[in-house]
Amino acid sequence: MSGNSDRQVKGSVIKGYFKYVKRTWGTQGLNDLTDATGLVYNEIDEQKWYDIGVFKKIQSRIAKEKGIKYIEMVANYAVKDLGVLSYIVRFSDFKSLLKRATKSYYAVYNFGDVEIDINDNSAVIRMKDTAFDDYTCTAWKGAFQGMLEITHSIGTVEETQCQLKGSPHCEFRIRWK
């Protein structure tokens, strides 16, 4: 994909971030995100594609207002707050969830390439051309940790490479019991 302007994210991801802010920081937090993005929480269409620039503004606002650790926390929350789907996923094991992760990625992002190598109790996830700002890898780390939690798996997530820092792709190593 060429340039950020072609990159889009589904409203369901954006709505998940807004929902976390609403739950954590209330009306003032929602008003801040509305000011930063021009989006109104109740008007976000979860099935609509939005320009990645909106998502960048959300992450930037959260990081500037609360700190980068909150990027990880909000992504973790968004993964775990999938409504009925999250209830079903809770009865799946982590390995099965990872096998569907690439398809799930392309359902909500229209850019980049994702490869996952899965072993018995570990996996390596390579994401090429998916990073769009300094917060992307932090968000993915939180999302992967959320996947571990939702499947009741005990494990660790480690970022080992970042494309924005000169690597050929972003890479995460996950280990679980």
pLDDT digits (tens, 9 = 90+) for 90-128: 557 889 889 988 998 999 999 999 999 999 999 999 999
| Region 20-40 average pLDDT | 95
Q: Quick one: which of 101, 102, 106, 95 has its CA closest to 153?
A: 95
Instruction: Give this prediction's pTM.
Output: 0.90
| Mean pLDDT in residue range 131-138 | 95
The confidence score (pLDDT) of residue 131 equals 95
Read off the pLDDT of each residue in 152-163 and give the average, rounded to a whole number: 96
* Residue 169 reports pLDDT greater than 50: yes
CB count in 10 Å sphere of residue 136? 22
CA 15 to chain centroid, in Å, comes to 12
- The stretch 73-77 carries a mean pLDDT of 95
Query: pLDDT: is 45 or 83 the higher one?
Result: 45
Position 88 scores a pLDDT of 54
* pLDDT of the residue at 3: 45
| pLDDT value at residue 93 | 87
- pLDDT average, residue stretch 24-36: 94
Domains contained in the chain, CATH given: 4-176 (3.90.1520.10)
Does residue 170 register a pLDDT over 80? yes
Q: Is the pLDDT of residue 173 over 90?
A: yes
